[in-house]
Amino acid sequence: MASNTKSALKPPSISPPANYGPFGKIEPNSTKYFAACMLGGVVACGPTHTLVTPLDLVKTRRQVSPGIYKSNLQGWSQIWKAEGLRGVFFGWSPTFVGYSFQGLGKYGFYEIFKHQYGDNMFPNMNRTVVFLAASASAEFIADMLLCPWEAIKVRMQTTLPPYAQNLREGWSKVVAKEGVSGLYKGIVPLWGRQIPYTMCKFATFEETVSVIYKQLGKPKEEYGKVAQTGVSFLGGYIAGIACAIVSHPADVMVSKLNSDRKPGESSGKAMTRIYGNIGFTGLWNGLPVRIAMIGTLTAFQWLIYDSFKVYLGLPTTGGH
């Protein structure tokens, strides 16, 4: 009898609503929401780009010097024998810092611009146009955050012997020789590479996720979080393949500009000279490995980003 009385007096446990996370409820399109998306971008982009440094290292060197390695495997084998694990991951520090900043701008500002363009400024605008405009605007900002670190990374990875052995040395050498402007000399071709890439990445992802849910036959909300993040992974992989192809010529040109631009040479003149040397075919050097790299990278970025949002009690991206 006592135990029944005690049980009756005990208040029932109340589970937090589904949209609550470890930091409480985050209202959609609030300042807290956008800050969470920025942090999610850091978590998604910094570590993933760092993990594929070996792919990026060999790809970038082959873009700049096509005859340096006969194949990617031969490149990794040669680097491993000479320098070990450190050599294979050479350039990881500017990669980690740069792409963490880029992820903050890319994902966080995408959510901001998508809300501003689609909900406030142009509520009747076609959603695909909103996705394209929001991602282009976000990437414009994200590239300004990325550019200094990308410049150092490319110089470190494409010069033999290396331009610098670490991020600090690379930063000091560029600033001492060329000033801060030297860190931004690749910003125009970086925009040329990354803005179309990101427009393709985000718009393709959003549209692919919508198509997947239509094919599955039920609204997104009727699936569990594991299934939703699985859709994010698949949509991310398809988007990654598409944007790797779209942005590859500009990716080659950025690598060449950072390693082969003459002092005082304008961007336009440098690109004309470089194109004259490598031709149209040269713009596609390293495409297969970039498809593998970017497809996998983009898939895991969307998986991590949306898993982070789910952890915070937020809905996954797309499918609405």
State the residue range of the domain holding 197: 31-312
Q: Tell which residue, 53, 144, 41, has the closest CA to residue 93.
A: 53
Does 12 fall in a domain? Answer: no
Weakest mean pLDDT among 8-17, 254-263, 286-295, 305-314: 8-17
Q: What is the band of 22 on the pLDDT scale with cuts at 50, 70, 90?
A: low
CA distance 150 to 146: 6
Mean pLDDT of the chain: 85
Confidence check: pLDDT of 130 > 80: yes
Q: Could you tell me the two tokens for 268?
A: 């336009």
Give pLDDT tens digits for 23-53. 678 888 899 999 999 999 999 999 999 998 9
Q: What is the band of 320 on the pLDDT scale with cuts at 50, 70, 90?
A: low
Does 17 fall in a domain? Answer: no
CA dihedral sign of residues 110, 184, 280, 237 = negative
Does 7 fall in a domain? Answer: no
Does 222 fall in a domain? Answer: yes
Weakest mean pLDDT among 6-10, 100-104, 300-304: 6-10
Q: What is the band of 142 on the pLDDT scale with cuts at 50, 70, 90?
A: very high
Weakest mean pLDDT among 29-33, 105-109, 161-165: 161-165
Q: What is the band of 9 on the pLDDT scale with cuts at 50, 70, 90?
A: very low
List the CATH number of the domain containing 59: 1.50.40.10
Distance of CA 34 to the CA centre of its chain: 17
Does 317 fall in a domain? Answer: no
pLDDT of residue 210: 92
Angle at 263 between CA 281 and CA 274, to 5 degrees: 10
**Count of the separate structural domains present in the chain:** 1
Q: Could you tell me the two tokens for 233?
A: 């992974």
Q: Would the pTM of this model clear 0.85, i.e. be above it?
A: no
- Region label for 53, one of left (φ > 0), alpha (ψ between -120 and 50) or beta (otherwise): alpha
Query: Using CB atoms within 10 A of its CB, is residue 223 exposed (0-12), middle (13-18) or buried (19+)?
Result: middle
Does 16 fall in a domain? Answer: no
Weakest mean pLDDT among 76-90, 103-117, 140-154: 76-90
